[in-house]
Amino acid sequence: MRLYLRKFLQALACFTFLTFMNILYLKNGENFDGFESDQSLRHLSQDGDSALVKGPQAPLKKRSLENQIHHRSKREVYNRRQSKTIRQLKNTDNNTKEDEHEIELQDLYISIKTTEKFHKTRLELLLQTWIVMARDQTFIFTDTDDEEYTKKTNHHMINTNCSKGHSRSALCCKMSVEFDTFIAANKRWWCHVDDDTYVNVPALLRLLRQYDSHEDWYLGKPSLTHPIEARNMATNQKEAFWFATGGAGFCLSRSLALKMVSHAGGGKFKSVCNNIRLPDDCTIGYIIYTQLQKKLTVVSSFHSHLEGLWRVRDLEDQLTFSYSSFANQKQNLVSVSGFDENRDPTRFWSIHCHLFPYLKDCARYSSTKHSEQVVNR
């Protein structure tokens, strides 16, 4: 009897010990599920916020390991969500960005209105200066075929087949083609300038990044201190509105331009011009104000030849520049040091090299500026 009792107690003790060890093993094993070696643990510890494992024999604290697994799990979920979001963006619209305001140069459509008479003078100057900064985004609208400048612009010269000259009908005809071409281009912003305008491309990008192209924006600067009046020939009613001077340049968001299509698209722009008997830039403002009930956002850093350009300062912050002569033949130019006025009568080269002195063609300007500084000392 005693022998039987002793064997029973020994078996019970052995069973209890084995059961306890098994429970302990399973409990510890929960913390190491999914890891096959010490090397895996070391790799995980290096990925987390707190790398406790310094070598193959370093102990791991239980809580630290749980934190590492938790962080890794959240990271994997985040990566999966990010991948899904990126796929959705690619599938819906290749041009859509996570930050709608963070536009890039390729989101712009810049149009220049010119005529055959100024290809070798005004246009040539623009091609050598600011267009270099946005060659793929800039399109030239003219009134003739010109093989030489078609090549120079990389086939970005468009013959509008409009009449030559500076008449209202010629201006409106070209603007109509500019508008339709922008709509077809599927860009986020349209900026129009004339062939006597210098565009500060980096400043233009900085400006447009402050506005959402999915909202209605009409950016520019009026040359008048009061609204202009137009008589609608169809209704014989006078209507007052503001407009941005085309010579200083203006920009339209795609959202606003799309709303203009029913009034200006497909050549309708020319009809509106004829109806109100006003030039192209006035007609843009007329449609936006009277037909769409939208407003002009005034941006003072646009500049045209209709203002005193010698008063312009802080060139890096300005969007556009121009030049002209007054009736008394006094030159209306931006006051900037640089090239001799005989070599740079418009001051565009001096402006260009003031903004971008690192360019190869501006080496002469840098030398001139250094000489002036030495003399002034």
**For residue 329, what pLDDT is reported?**
67
The range of the structural domain enclosing residue 347 comes to 309-376
pLDDT of 368? 54
Residue 11 within a domain? no
Q: Return the closest-CA partner of residue 112 out of 123, 101, 102, 121.
A: 123
- Are 220 and 346 in the same domain? no
Q: Does 146 reside within a domain?
A: yes
* 138 and 244 share one domain: yes
Kindly state the tokens that stand for 286: 């007329």
Which of the residues are catalytic?
A: 281
Chain centroid to Cα 351, Å, comes to 22
In a domain, 15, yes or no: no
Count of the separate structural domains present in the chain: 3
Same domain, 286 and 317: no
- Structure-block tokens of residue 63: 């809580």
Helix (H) or strand (E) holding 351: helix 348-355
**232 and 262 share a domain?**
yes
Q: What is the pLDDT of residue 165?
A: 84
Q: Which residues of 51-66 are buried (b: 16+ CB within 10 A; e: fewer)?
A: ebbeeeeeebeeebbe
For the domain that residue 184 is a member of, what is the CATH number? 3.90.550.50
Report yes or no on 97 lying in a domain: no
Helix (H) or strand (E) holding 230: strand 228-232
* Confidence (pLDDT) at 349: 97
Rounded to an integer, what distance in angstroms lies between the CA atom of residue 38 and that of residue 59?
10
Which parts of the chain have pLDDT scores under 50?
Answer: 25-100, 370-371, 373-377
Question: Which residues contact residue 304 at a Cβ distance below 8 angstroms, ignoring those fewer than 6 apart?
Answer: 197, 221, 223, 245, 247, 248, 249, 320, 322
Domain co-membership, 130 together with 172: yes
